[in-house]
Amino acid sequence: MRMYDIISKKRHGGKLSDEEIAFFVRGYTEGTVPDYQAAALMMAVCCRGMDEEECTSLTLHMMHSGDTVDLSGLENTVDKHSTGGVGDLTSLVVTPTLAALGLNVAKMSGRGLGHTGGTIDKLESIPGFNTSLSMEEFISQVKNIGIAVIGQTADLAPADKKMYALRDVTATIDSVPLIASSIMAKKLAAGAESILLDVKYGSGAFMKTREAAEDLAGLMVKLGKKAGRKMGALVTSMEYPLGRKIGNSLEIMEAVDILRDGERSDARLVSSELAAHLYSVATGCGIPESRELVNRTIDSGKTYEKFLQWIKAQGGDPEAVDKGRLPLSPHRFELRSPADGYVCSADTEGLGMASCILGAGRVTKDDVPDLGAGYILHVSPGDRISHGDLIATLYTSDISKTAPACDKILFSLRIGDSRPESLPDLIYRFIS
């Protein structure tokens, strides 16, 4: 078999066989297929697509290119995955809620990159929190308290790691079959029995339209089911940041607002819907009953109790979380509105980049984020604002970053003369 023939076949719109896909994935992981041939194949897939069978082969071969996590000693294991966004703190609410409801949450999460945040960075803003447990510690913690969240291990789907880095620099990220197989290879390798995907659409998401997000969600659900997992997906909005606190420690603080202080917000609503749908996928319980159980668990304080127990189990300081002693960068700045009007819409990617400019994110993979940086957004879509009203409170360790971050926020918020006629649906639909 030759890579040249595989590339040529796909370039002309042919269907790749399971053997050809296996040859490529193995060769690229081991280094016998060079970057230039892998890049040519990725571009051909971007232009010509892949059918479901090809996509399943690609996913399964990438999944088996490295270690897979064996969770067979645990019952009812669940995982959730978000395609990424701004102020997306849902994992911090969903995972302890499901653990409090008796499911086993064994989750591997990612770090932030560009405008999107990552759960691992947020958790690491809690003093002492250890996100690199050994596999034995990870599984034993899930057995003991029903929840553990760690960073992805180096050898989880290594084929995807190489391919994703290559796609990032060859303009080949943007392909539904490549995104679907990349995400699902990692999720399947992480071993949970039931998986709920939160596929975002909008100005802060990979998928700019609801229809594109729906296609991606539908394909990923099929891939997971073919691999024998219980699957569901919610298509949710990233037309505006989900939470109003954007950063790392700031998002932990917003989770506390929801779990301890009962804050009702968009972030609470989307989190409880995700938890309810995952509970339903895992247990077969109907959605209305699952919703009721989830809301009762959060409102009774049981989720917050589990959240603090989880933090303690992973070496974190629950007192720092409960008593508001999380890191916050020293320079505080208030951004006020330069005009009167209504908040009509937003370039949410730009709003995410503003947090990155303040130091909270990574422009390249090797940047070290400032875990106390970020900002609180005081306005929501549809709000009327007047000249001088507080729009955002910014936190940074580098005072020279405030001016460019303020510019970015003002440029990203679309302030108009009249109230928008409709606001984007927070939750578009459920796919199972």
Residue numbers at the binding site for ligand URA (CB under 6 A): 164, 173, 178-179, 182-183
In the residue annotation, 81 being an active-site residue is answered as yes
Distance, CA of 237 to CA of 427 (rounded, Å): 6
- Identify the active-site residue in 109, 175, 182, 290: 182
Q: Nearest approach, Cβ of 252 to ligand URA (angstroms)?
A: 23
Show the tokens assigned to 261.
């202080």
Give the three-class secondary structure for 333.
strand
Would you say 413 and 336 are in contact if contact means Cβ atoms under 8 Å apart? no
Within 83-193, strands assigned E span 104-109, 147-151
Strand order in the sheet with 331-336: 245-247, 374-377, 390-396, 331-336
Q: Encoding tokens for residue 118?
A: 């990552």
Q: Catalytic annotation on 167?
A: yes
To ligand URA, the closest distance from the beta carbon of 60 in angstroms equals 16
State the DSSP string of 343-393.
EEEE-HHHHHHHHHHTTSS-SSTT----TT-EEEE---TT-EE-TT-EEEE
78: closest CA among 198, 186, 229? 229
Whether the CB-CB separation of 104 and 77 falls below 8 Å is answered with: yes
**Known catalytic membership, residue 160:** yes
210 vs 401, beta carbon nearer ligand URA: 210
- At 133, phi and psi to the nearest 5? -70, 155
Nearer to ligand URA, 69 or 377 (CB): 69
Q: Which of 167, 268, 277, 401 is catalytic?
A: 167
Give the residue closest to ligand URA by C-beta. 182
Query: Nearer to ligand URA by C-beta: 182 or 303?
Result: 182
Residue 349 near residue 366, CB atoms below 8 Å: no
Nearest residue (CB) to ligand URA, 29 versus 290: 29
Can you tell me the distance from the alpha carbon of 92 to that of 98, in angstroms, rounded to the nearest whole number? 11
Q: Please state, in angstroms and rounded to a whole number, the distance separating the CA atoms of residues 331 and 344.
A: 29
**213: alpha, beta or left? (left if phi > 0; alpha if psi -120 to 50):** alpha
Half-sphere exposure of 173 (CA within 13 A, CB side): 10
C-alpha 221/C-alpha 180 separation (Å) is 9
Rounded to a whole number of angstroms, the minimum distance from the CB of residue 129 to ligand URA is: 23
Cβ closer to ligand URA: 96 or 118? 118
Closer to ligand URA by Cβ: residue 82 or 141:
82
* Distance of alpha carbon 141 from alpha carbon 105, whole angstroms: 10
Nearer to ligand URA, 179 or 321 (CB): 179
Instruction: Tell me how long the chain is.
Output: 432
Q: How far is the CB of 182 from ligand URA (least distance, A)?
A: 3
Catalytically annotated residue among 111, 186, 187, 244: 186
CB of 173 to ligand URA, least distance (A): 6
The total of other beta-carbon atoms located within 10 Å of residue 335's CB is 20
Q: Which residues are catalytic?
A: 81, 160, 167, 182, 186
